[in-house]
Structure 1
Amino acid sequence: MNLVVTDANLESRFGLKALIFDFDGLIMDTETPWYYAFKDIYQEHGIELSLELWSKNVGTSFDEFNPYVYLETSIQKPLDHGHIKRLSEEKYATYLGEAQLLPGVLTLLEAAKLRGLRIGLASSSTRDWVHKYLKEQGIFSYFDVIHTADDVKRVKPDPELYTLTLEKLGAAARETLVFEDSPNGLKAAKAAGIRCVVVPNDVTRNLEFLAHDWMVASLEEIDLGVF
């Protein structure tokens, strides 16, 4: 496993009792299809949607960057948000294709269960969205605790999702490891005092990740024996 370790955390072994996973972009690549869906819509209106701009809402809500409002501002006329939403969902479904787990997800979940670790999930997406995909992929039962945007007042980068998930898992921050794919998720984990493994995807790979503990290209590289 080629872990990239920061100077702030050269000692990798600690009493591991729990894992917490993000969902979008980590368990399934649901983020890249959304970017291409909105990129197409923007192009149809003569506007270029950069990955840098889109990345502001990866792992969080539309508070930082609202693609509907930004497009309206760019073309200087109102849009039917309902129509744009339906169109984006159609394009998203086309780009997503046959949804699959990202490499290493199932193997890591199985290894965690065999080791007796508690497993949580903390996502800024809605409960219906997360539960739907977890059940379709047959991995819902692996998670002891699942918290989503429906359970908190503030989503990532606020730490509330992680502090709540820690509490329900019955684990301390020092006994827990988080897996994240976005800077917003990383900020939330670190604000909650939890060590974080960053696993960038196609949308987040070129973004800046500050103060991460480890970085890997894929969950396939994770060996829980290291921790």
Structure 2
Amino acid sequence: MLDLTQKSVIFFDMDGLLLDTENLYYETRRQILNKYGYSYTQKHHARYIGKGFTDTICRLKKFVGDEKLGKQVFTESMELFQTAIENEKLPLKQGALQLLTMLNEKGKSCYLTSSSSKEIIMQALQKTQIEGSFDKIISGEEVNRNKPMPDIYLRAVEIAQTNKRKALVFEDSKSGVEAAFQAGIDVIMVPDWLPPSKQEMDEVTAVLPNLEEALVFFTERNNRRKPNDHFDYHEPFC
């Protein structure tokens, strides 16, 4: 029986898990690449999901075949992304607010562990008004190696001063799941753009269609599913 009531420290990814930012990243990057004459599809974008900004810049340089232009594409697309956050509503993913609220009420310690820069993280959290839900924010800028390497979660455990057995990770991407798994922390996957692979299914504690489904697992005597139960998907993936 999947019982998460003993988990006292919860680590959350941000993009694609708490916030519906992945479509915005895709659209802003596509617009800038199109401006320079490059086609950028959802299939292309899938290779960037869950990666840190350093990795993204390297991939863009290879994509356009020019180091200077690759960096320029990244800079312009991020400027467009930040403008979009300011001018448009940045939606929370289903169940995000409910889960954070419940965990806070139960006295759980919540940490944000995102590959994004601190500037982007703070802008997004302030826009969605969930900044106060977290004990601390840990960005990809604080570690030498970003996801899928385990550094950010090893650092998070150190900051939280907790035992790994008491910690739990929520992730949406392959690289995030791998980072948590390599760090030796239980991880629940809530896929966004891509469905889980067989390897990811083997590495996670559970796969959920949304964060709302996690609420019951933190409630005593209301646990109905066994560890490694995996939900059927009813929403299409890009």
Under TM normalisation by the shorter chain, which class is it? 0.7 to 0.9
**1:135 alignment partner, one of 123, 126, 151:** 126
Query: Are the aligned partners of 1:159 and 1:188 in contact in 2 as well (CA < 8 Å)?
Result: yes
Name the CA distance, whole Å, in 2 between partners of 1:123 and 1:37.
Answer: 20
Structure 1 runs not aligned, ≥5 long: 1-10
Query: Are the aligned partners of 1:119 and 1:144 in contact in 2 as well (CA < 8 Å)?
Result: yes
Give the corresponding residue for 1:90: 80
Change (3 A) 1:77 1:101: closer
Change (3 A) 1:50 1:212: farther
Give the corresponding residue for 2:62: 70
Query: Are the aligned partners of 2:188 and 2:206 in contact in 1 as well (CA < 8 Å)?
Result: yes
Give the corresponding residue for 1:28: 19
Query: Are the aligned partners of 2:32 and 2:76 in contact in 1 as well (CA < 8 Å)?
Result: no
Q: Give 1:131 deviation, angstroms.
A: 1.5
Give the corresponding residue for 2:177: 186
Name the CA distance, whole Å, in 1 between partners of 2:77 and 2:113.
Answer: 28
**2:189 alignment partner, one of 176, 188, 198:** 198
- Note if 1:173 corresponds to 2:164: yes
* Equivalent position amino acid for 2:129 in 1: G
Name the CA distance, whole Å, in 2 between partners of 1:182 and 1:141.
Answer: 24
Q: TM-score, normalised by structure 2?
A: 0.77
CA RMSD of aligned residues (A): 2.8
Query: Are the aligned partners of 1:22 and 1:181 in contact in 2 as well (CA < 8 Å)?
Result: yes
**2:102 alignment partner, one of 111, 124, 127:** 111
Structure 2 runs not aligned, ≥5 long: 228-238
Name the CA distance, whole Å, in 1 between partners of 2:191 and 2:3.
Answer: 23
Query: Are the aligned partners of 2:8 and 2:109 in contact in 1 as well (CA < 8 Å)?
Result: yes
Query: Are the aligned partners of 2:29 and 2:77 in contact in 1 as well (CA < 8 Å)?
Result: no
Q: Percent identity?
A: 26
Change (3 A) 1:77 1:199: closer
Change (3 A) 1:45 1:20: same
Query: Are the aligned partners of 1:18 and 1:177 in contact in 2 as well (CA < 8 Å)?
Result: yes
Query: Are the aligned partners of 1:57 and 1:65 in contact in 2 as well (CA < 8 Å)?
Result: no
Query: Are the aligned partners of 1:56 and 1:65 in contact in 2 as well (CA < 8 Å)?
Result: no
Give the corresponding residue for 1:222: 214
Give the corresponding residue for 1:212: 204
Q: Give 1:106 deviation, angstroms.
A: 1.1
Query: Are the aligned partners of 1:119 and 1:169 in contact in 2 as well (CA < 8 Å)?
Result: no
Name the CA distance, whole Å, in 1 between partners of 2:9 and 2:56.
Answer: 31
Name the CA distance, whole Å, in 2 between partners of 1:18 and 1:89.
Answer: 34
| Mean Cα deviation higher: 29-38 or 50-59 | 50-59
Name the CA distance, whole Å, in 2 between partners of 1:84 and 1:188.
Answer: 24
* Equivalent position amino acid for 2:3 in 1: R
Q: 1:22-61 counterparts in 2 under 5 A?
A: 22-44=13-35, 47-61=38-52
Change (3 A) 1:16 1:78: closer
* Equivalent position amino acid for 2:194 in 1: R
Q: Give 1:46 deviation, angstroms.
A: 5.1
Query: Are the aligned partners of 1:198 and 1:215 in contact in 2 as well (CA < 8 Å)?
Result: yes
Name the CA distance, whole Å, in 1 between partners of 2:119 and 2:110.
Answer: 19
